[in-house]
Amino acid sequence: MTHNVLVYLYKPQNTSPLYSSVSKTLRDSLSRVLVPFYPLAGRLRWINHDDHLYKRGRLELDCNGNGVEFVEAEWNAELDEFGDFNTQSPDHQYLFPAIDNTVPIHELPIMFVQITMFKCGGISISVAASHVVVDGSAIAHFIVEWARLSRGETAIEKMPFHDRNALQGREPREVEARTPEECRFDHYKNLTYLPELVNHQGNEGSAEEGKKLERTVIRLRLAPNQVKKLNKLANEGRRSDIQPYTRYEAISALIWRTMCKVRNNKDEQPTSFLISIDSRRRLKPPLPVGYFGNAILDVVATSFARELVSKSLGYGASKIRAMISKVTDEYVVSTIDYLKKQQDLSSFRSLYLYSTEDFLGDPNSACTSLLNLPIYGVDFGWGKETYVGPGDLKIDGGSVLLHSSEDDGSLVVMVCLLEERVDAFKKYFYQDII
């Protein structure tokens, strides 16, 4: 199962606390915050599972209070020597909790925390949480409340809402009573379809061979004026009756198009772009404030490489907009209804397995936005972070959009791609906005 990692870096203060004091403060506050956020201390377990038939069935959350895994580490180096994540380093992995996915699911902690203290007094806090149980919004909520208690606040500001009935879909009789017109969504295709390479003759030969090539992660900064220029490019020629494309839609379109270019995808190559959408505010009524779980719904925009490369940036943005707009209350509830009827959900989890050998990659891409999550400016008691971001990206074509730690209005795009394509990607990414 996939655990998403979020890492915070804190530079030493003039009066940096002792490591023993930091550890005790974080442990004590973590123990207290887990009381209202108790699902994180539980375990997942399979139901309707059959090893002989290789069926995974469904997962159930067992709130058994078995706890989270808390790891303490010391690094005999200065934080400045370690780097700031602007370039990928093999050393970065040592800041993240080690997760053994061969452990039976009912024994694997839902959340791991690792605290690393540098000899200069700098601190790293990494949180890894199961994406099956919580999404980015939920884990950000948890981290904010944990930080409040750590720095001396006495009470939770926003309590988590745990009742899963809020995301249950319709009653079975309501589903059966729907007309054919109301059953117009092809959920199997929407949830599982990713195009494969068409007669590809490039260096990697196939997606399977592409797994074996070296991948890396790059960070691309977009200054405020570049974001403005990119938005202008995406909106050129837009009809007046269409709302302006957002910065996410414009940047995602640029990532998608650039990936097609550096991969040398053929004109007739189908390609998809995976978009993760928080359904909390799209439901009617919206989910309760503080809903603690995973309310993410993935949708896939599809086009041909020829169209993305030859047409304006607004074309790619329009394809992404069309899929985002599709996620209405009816669509979300219909998806829930569809998934509730499936005995085995394994095939629907394939798009989430970013940390396994499953290959999203060529010819497909994805972008997750962290722009609207409350993960920035988190103070555990020794000031705000100097860096916050995802722990790792492992799949070619995966990307994350977040605010820059420079606090100047600039944005950062983290992209995972094959090492041999880095220079070309940077060239095509910036060529129209420099």
Active site residues: 131, 379
DSSP codes, 13-52? PTTPPPHHHHHHHHHHHHHHHTTTTGGGGSEEEEES-BTT
282 phi and psi angles, rounded to 5 deg? -90, -15
- Buried b / exposed e across 314-333, counting CB within 10 Å, b at 16+? bbbbbbbbebbeebeeebbb
* CA-to-CA dists, residue 40 to 3, 5, 131, 207, 326, angstroms: 12, 14, 11, 35, 32
Q: Give residue for tokens 């930091």.
A: 22
Q: Give residue for tokens 């902690």.
A: 109
Neighbours of 342 (CB within 10 A): 15
- How far apart CA 422 and CA 100 sit, in angstroms, is 30
Query: Torsion angle of alpha carbons 410, 432, 397, 91, nearest 10°?
Result: -50
Q: Select from 157, 163, 156 the least CA-distant residue to 34.
A: 156
Query: Residue 348 in contact with residue 272, Cβ under 8 Å?
Result: no
- The distance of Cα 57 from the centroid of its chain, to the nearest Å, equals 24
Query: Residue 40 in contact with residue 134, Cβ under 8 Å?
Result: yes
- The distance of Cα 75 from the centroid of its chain, to the nearest Å, equals 28
Q: Select from 19, 16, 122, 17 the least CA-distant residue to 78.
A: 122
| Tokens describing residue 293 | 């779980």
| Tokens describing residue 295 | 């309310």
- How far apart CA 430 and CA 434 sit, in angstroms, is 6
Q: Write the single-letter amino acid at 338.
A: Y
Q: What share of the chain is helix, strand, coil (3-state, %, to 5)?
A: 35, 20, 45
